Structure 1
């Protein structure tokens, strides 16, 4: 049996069929190579090489993803003639935008569906995620609140839907009780939710190759340990099940592949490149959608500065773009004013949290007291600091401080409340949204909690 990453030795006639099929279906759909890349998760370079016939040994996973983007299967290549001569069928609607007719029998989808807006700056994340879910059975997306984990997970699930005969099931876990308050009830609720969604007929190993289901568990950071236990049991019991989890906290499961969703790029393009950073592109798209008459083309440096103030967090960028309906761009460039304004904006359908402050508060309140105390102390350091810098923070007790501080700092990073720039020397940073919440909203931890065990 071939694995998804194995190459497929096509005959010359097969390559011609694949090339002609891709060219025809892409043009019938009105997509550019870049749009097909975004919808399928296959790189533009691979698509270009397949369409020119220069790639004669494509990966099985690449072919499957490209065919799935058109709602087709490998049998479509055997028809051998364009649609206008009676061979290939017209493109099937993409599952993210329109469901096919009932008699075509598409795999089912249970739970929240992807937002119709296209992903911005997530092509590399999407390509990796599509491959990871196919080659492994458990994938965990981590990253700070508002970075777009849910949107990315649902977009990937929509593109993978044709590969899962028993469909996709999405469960939002934010209503589960936090495990540090009631672990028994949290585990019970997780079992109830997953039991209602996982198909029982994918449990026999004889059917595992034919019957497959993708389960998406969204927002697991407050039940991450219980989720790990429940998922391990599900994967053991159901060989045809694949699981995709989103969580602000990392999940300790040896079989899991973890992918960190980072903020959008806010830097300037390299010399000779005309493309704007992905954070700026998102801002401009949202402004265009809500204020089509507002032209910011001459103010791109200010837009980039604003996106940098927001650390490239998509939710914050979208809310700031909406604020331009009533305030000029220059009024948003003072970080104190900016965060006070955005902290009160209703996030609406963009987030399950009503405001940015409630999103950060959600992560903050899951921290034990020693972690909160260190987070408050870290805000006194420069915006970028090293582990040695963190060890210089004054504390009431110097006993075993170095290993204790290092442990707490690592756990703050695992909770996506501290960002890490990994090079020869690791550098750390408290994101601006978190820094504002900690210094302006949250109450400092008690001094005697410094050496408590978290």
Structure 2
């Protein structure tokens, strides 16, 4: 273990990182890093060591298959002590199938990434939830890329957006989901020669419209493939007891949310996107206006990126009118940043999955100011049917990521400006809605009772 201890200590110092910074980049706790460097931890988890080596730029394959965690000698020879062919073999990453990370750095997601990397060491199922446009897919792919060296059978990514909604076509949704997941797992089973050996990470992206079917499929996959880990993105949490669920929130719009930053992460993202597309445009003198715009957009990354694109044709000041902001942004093609064509489509996707009673309550709630209470929700026209029913519907709107909850002192609720805009568009005279729920089943259960454990 002396070799591992010396390597970690030297590489961290060469990188100029504190133990806290290495912890942030690797997802390994500061306490574990401190114990490794002092030599008090002589039997670390293999996953912890691999995450540290990945963060420091060393191939986790340089760990022998055995070690203090398995009876061997720990670190094998470091790359500079190996032949060229040996080095090539040890630095080859496991395979990746499906959509890949965009490659640009994540902004304001250090805490999210750190949590996901840590959660992957203790759970085989992680679910990322949050509203449309908040960046769940990008975060999941970036985290999967960081975790890739830990899974010798690689990473497979499946997009579920083409699955039919389960409330309209339950059999079709089940069949498509089964086809997608079995296609991925069978291919890897064939490659490794055994259906129950190896380690693989499967990313299922966009499961909100097939949440119940996904929950069933996930339980089955975890039972049948002991080496399989899953990372799922969904606007709705999965009813699987073994899941670690992480709410992905908007970026910070006020103050400083990182010791390395001089501006909030929402502002940093906006400036980064403007710099990429309009390198000659200097917004340094207009940071208060940029901050105001990011607040109007509630820190939602997709909205911020589209607003940055809009500056190619419109001045910043034209985007600061609350009445016209989202109308201007909806005219920008968002297909390069999202699976949806426009910014509003990202919310309409969630709205159109709602049964009629939920839509009715949401329509009334947008008239309330942000930070409303459960008692206030019962005062709206559709809320007078009873406090218990309102609480039930409100909880399901929150589960669908259409309402955000502040849980600090007492629970209060808020609705993002984009959701208010879309609801107002749909419900005003002349607005349209796809009304996907059959008239004979206008209030089906939003979630199904499931066993508490896999």
* CA–CA separation in structure 2 for the residues paired with 1:161 and 1:408: 39
How far apart are 1:437 and its partner, in Å? 0.5
> TM-score, normalized by length of structure 1?
0.83
Distance 1:340 1:149, change over 3 A: same
Q: Is the Cα–Cα contact under 8 Å of residues 61 and 91 in structure 2 kept in the other structure?
A: no
Q: Within the alignment, does 1:68 sit opposite 2:58 as a pair?
A: no
Partner of 1:259: helix, strand, or coil? strand
* CA–CA separation in structure 2 for the residues paired with 1:140 and 1:365: 22
Counterpart of 2:8 in structure 1 is: 18
Distance 1:341 1:272, change over 3 A: same
Partner of 1:227: helix, strand, or coil? helix
Q: Within the alignment, does 1:40 sit opposite 2:30 as a pair?
A: no
Q: Is the Cα–Cα contact under 8 Å of residues 167 and 212 in structure 1 kept in the other structure?
A: yes
- Of 420, 425, 431, 2:405 maps to 420
Counterpart of 1:429 in structure 2 is: 414
Distance 1:102 1:320, change over 3 A: farther
* CA–CA separation in structure 1 for the residues paired with 2:227 and 2:259: 48
Q: Is the Cα–Cα contact under 8 Å of residues 130 and 234 in structure 2 kept in the other structure?
A: yes
Q: Within the alignment, does 1:338 sit opposite 2:329 as a pair?
A: no
Q: Within the alignment, does 1:387 sit opposite 2:374 as a pair?
A: yes
Counterpart of 2:128 in structure 1 is: 141
Q: Within the alignment, does 1:57 sit opposite 2:45 as a pair?
A: no
Distance 1:193 1:210, change over 3 A: closer
Q: Within the alignment, does 1:229 sit opposite 2:219 as a pair?
A: no
How far apart are 1:13 and its partner, in Å? 5.2
- Of 298, 301, 305, 1:314 maps to 301
Cα RMSD between the aligned structures? 3.5
* CA–CA separation in structure 1 for the residues paired with 2:142 and 2:293: 27
* CA–CA separation in structure 2 for the residues paired with 1:248 and 1:298: 37
Q: Is the Cα–Cα contact under 8 Å of residues 339 and 433 in structure 1 kept in the other structure?
A: yes
Per-residue CA deviations over 1:404-425 (Å, capped at 9, x if unaligned) read: 1110000000000001011221
> TM-score, normalized by length of structure 2?
0.83
Distance 1:55 1:373, change over 3 A: farther
Q: Which one scores higher on RCO, CA 8 angstroms, separation ≥ 6? A: 2
Partner of 2:153: helix, strand, or coil? coil
How far apart are 1:68 and its partner, in Å? 2.5
Distance 1:274 1:345, change over 3 A: closer
Per-residue CA deviations over 1:255-311 (Å, capped at 9, x if unaligned) read: 111100010011123999962111111011111111112221222121111111101
How far apart are 1:344 and its partner, in Å? 1.8
Q: Is the Cα–Cα contact under 8 Å of residues 151 and 199 in structure 2 kept in the other structure?
A: yes
* CA–CA separation in structure 1 for the residues paired with 2:258 and 2:218: 47
Counterpart of 2:96 in structure 1 is: 109
Per-residue CA deviations over 1:13-42 (Å, capped at 9, x if unaligned) read: 542233224455x48xxx999986665345
Distance 1:329 1:196, change over 3 A: same
Distance 1:103 1:81, change over 3 A: closer
Partner of 2:164: helix, strand, or coil? coil
Structure 2 alignment gaps of length 5 or more:
65-73, 445-454
Distance 1:444 1:403, change over 3 A: farther
Counterpart of 1:280 in structure 2 is: 267
Distance 1:347 1:190, change over 3 A: same
